[in-house]
Amino acid sequence: MCFKSKFDKLTREDIVDAICKLEKESAEIDESIIAKQKQIDELTLRGRKEKSRDIRLFYAKKINMIKEEREQSVQRAMYLMYNIRLLNKLKKAVDDNEFFVKNAKVSLGNLLSDQKGLAKFLNKALNTRIDAESVLTEADETFQEVEASYEKNESIYGMGKDDDALLAVFETEETLEGEEEFADEANASAEQQGSEE
């Protein structure tokens, strides 16, 4: 038979109801403090205007009495505020407890708590990655090897006898063109010199 402690039996609803009740009471006390302060101000004003000493004394006693009541209300309001603050902390603790209990039960959370299994899994993932990368690098090496073993076909891409003769003709024509240009330039500069003299 399991016995639950009073904190285990405590529900969030009970705490919320308690807080609401205290907030209501606190609001009522706040209103009464404001009302009493207004009364004190009013009586003080009347007392100043009053000429009769007896009535002034009466106002003074009344003001003091209301001040005492106001002081009592202020103390109660402070007590209620403190109480509400503690109940809010209790509510937060209940929420935290529920949160951590729920999240600890999550299956993924349980997986993470198994350190050995996690290390094994991570190593496996790393090895898979390394294997995949080495497949690519080996393929790249194979490409390079095959390309290196290839020899250029000289018949297609190389220079034949006829090609050699034509290339010589091209070079000669290029040289002649160059000499003609040089001669033209020399003549032009000589004419210019002559006209200046």
Partner 1 sequence: MCFFKKKPQSDLNQQDRDQIAVNSKMIDVLTTICKDEEFIPELEKLKEQITFLQPSPNHKVYEADKKIKNRIDDLKIALVKGNAKSDDVSEKAENIFEDIRMMIAERNVLV
The single residue among 41, 68, 95, 177 that binds partner 1, judged by CB under 8 A, is 95
Q: Both tokens of residue 91?
A: 């509510």
CB of 21 to partner 1, least distance (A): 9
CB of 47 to partner 1, least distance (A): 31
DSSP-based three-state secondary structure for 65: helix
78 binds partner 1 (CB under 8 A): no
The single residue among 3, 8, 13, 107 that binds partner 1, judged by CB under 8 A, is 13
Closest to 93 (Cα-Cα) out of 19, 7, 5? 7
16 binds partner 1 (CB under 8 A): yes
CB of 101 to partner 1, least distance (A): 12
In degrees and rounded to multiples of 5, residue 4 shows phi and psi of -90, 140
Q: How far is CA 116 from CA 125, 127, 181, in A?
A: 14, 17, 86
27 binds partner 1 (CB under 8 A): yes
12 binds partner 1 (CB under 8 A): yes
In sequence order, which residues have a C-beta less than 8 Å from that of residue 26 and are 6 or more positions away?
77, 80, 81, 84
23 binds partner 1 (CB under 8 A): yes
